């Protein structure tokens, strides 16, 4: 694959740490020190599908193509207002595309999985231009009385258009089932036949467990794709990591012994926007002119499952 366009969209409402400290027993210092987060953008009157379509349209404009030239849409998403149809199908209509559409849910790792699927479609000549995107509203999953999780998240969407090319140098995705550390259980419609007890459970996260697993899996995945691509840590121009917690990314950066400029962050502005964080950060780097032809980009993400994944892509836009 080759990346030919990127886009992103954020809800308009900025929620600061100080505002949170008026809603619950928390404070700016705790949140900053433990996570690096200062503000996050949260959905208010927007609909996630509109943000997703906005990110998609930006990616199309950046690629210089129209919706009708897209022949597959893959959207990573955990929750949105529609259980069905897929978010990808809703975006399809908004960008005037006409093509196969599918959502995938690999939690915060979803964007890396979407890249894996896109590459397979391109390699097997099933598609030429693919919209690979992620749109998430984790602020609709958290318990706003649970200070240990609700302060961490923000909403948003990121997208890229990929076409045929030779720029994906290595990719690895994995999953090891573990409901105990991170899960969210929705309440379904009642049926006359249900005999089991059901309860809605907002997002549950065993923070420290997830932290440890995140660091271990991200390090493992990055080393694996570097090895597969025959590259050294220093050969990577930017490590575009899932923006969950600044400390996780800085720990990895320290272990790699590379400069802070190579580990861009925006978790300070957006919080953890689940699988949308990687394409949102990619778009920010693209739009601020920080990417140049030939740059090697390493993506890495982790999340509920427990899933994780990483890949290396040469930037040739």
Q: Which two tokens stand for residue 44?
A: 């208010």
Question: 26-55: which residues touch ligand UT7 (CB under 6 A)?
Answer: 26, 30-31, 34-35
316 a catalytic residue: no
80 a catalytic residue: no
The Cα 120–Cα 115 span in angstroms is 9
Look-up of token digits 């930006």: 58
Residue 317 binds ligand UT7 (CB under 6 A): no
Question: 170-209: which residues touch ligand UT7 (CB under 6 A)?
Answer: 205, 207-208
Catalytic residue among 129, 249, 272, 286: 272
Nearest distance, CB of residue 288 and ligand UT7, angstroms: 24
Stretch that binds ligand UT7, among 44-52, 144-152, 156-164, 226-234 (CB under 6 A): 144-152
Q: How far is CA 30 from the centre of its chain?
A: 25
Radius of gyration of the chain (CA): 19
Instruction: Pick one of 13, 147, 269, 287: the residue that binds ligand UT7 (CB under 6 A).
Output: 147
Residue 211 binds ligand UT7 (CB under 6 A): yes
| Binding residues with ligand UT7: total (CB under 6 A) | 20
Cβ nearer to ligand UT7, comparing 211 with 238: 211
Plot region of 221 (φ>0 → left; ψ -120 to 50 → alpha; else → beta): alpha
SS3 182: strand
How many residues are recorded in the chain? 317
47 a catalytic residue: no
Catalytic residue among 75, 77, 101, 242: 242
The Cα 144–Cα 75 span in angstroms is 27
Q: DSSP alpha helices (H): ranges in the chain? A: 17-23, 28-35, 48-63, 87-94, 110-123, 147-150, 207-229, 246-256, 267-270, 277-287
Positions touching ligand UT7 (CB under 6 A) are 26, 30-31, 34-35, 108, 147-148, 151, 205, 207-208, 210-211, 214, 244-245, 248, 272, 303
């Amino acid at each position: 694959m080759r990346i030919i366009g990127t886009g992103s969209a954020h809800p308009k409402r900025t929620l600061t740490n100080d505002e949170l400290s008026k809603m619950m027993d928390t404070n700016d210092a705790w949140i900053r020190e433990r996570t690096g987060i200062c503000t996050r953008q949260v959905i208010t009157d927007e609909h996630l599908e509109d943000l997703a379509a906005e990110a998609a349209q930006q990616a199309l404009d950046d690629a210089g193509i129209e919706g009708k030239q897209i022949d597959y849409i893959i959207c990573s998403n955990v929750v949105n207002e529609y259980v069905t149809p897929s978010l990808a199908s809703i975006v399809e209509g908004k960008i005037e595309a006409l093509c196969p559409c599918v959502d995938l849910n690999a939690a915060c790792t979803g964007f890396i999985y979407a890249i894996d699927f896109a590459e397979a479609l391109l390699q097997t000549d099933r598609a030429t231009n693919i919209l690979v995107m992620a749109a998430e509203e984790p602020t609709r999953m958290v318990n706003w009385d649970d200070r240990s999780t609700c302060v961490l998240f923000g909403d948003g969407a990121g997208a890229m258009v990929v076409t045929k090319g030779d720029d994906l140098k290595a990719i690895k995705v994995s999953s090891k089932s573990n409901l105990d550390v991170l899960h969210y259980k929705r309440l379904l419609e009642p049926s006359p036949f249900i005999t089991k007890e059901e309860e809605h459970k907002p997002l549950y996260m065993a923070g420290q467990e997830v932290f440890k697993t995140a660091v271990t899996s991200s390090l493992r995945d990055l080393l694996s794709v570097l090895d597969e691509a025959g590259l050294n840590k220093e050969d990577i121009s930017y490590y575009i990591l899932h923006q969950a917690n600044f400390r996780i990314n800085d720990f990895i950066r320290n272990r790699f012994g590379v400069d802070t400029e190579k580990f861009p962050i925006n978790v300070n502005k957006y919080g953890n926007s689940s699988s949308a964080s990687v394409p949102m950060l990619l778009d920010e780097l693209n739009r601020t002119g920080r990417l140049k032809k030939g740059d090697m980009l390493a993506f890495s993400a982790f999340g509920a499952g427990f899933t994780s994944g990483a890949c290396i892509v040469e930037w040739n836009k």
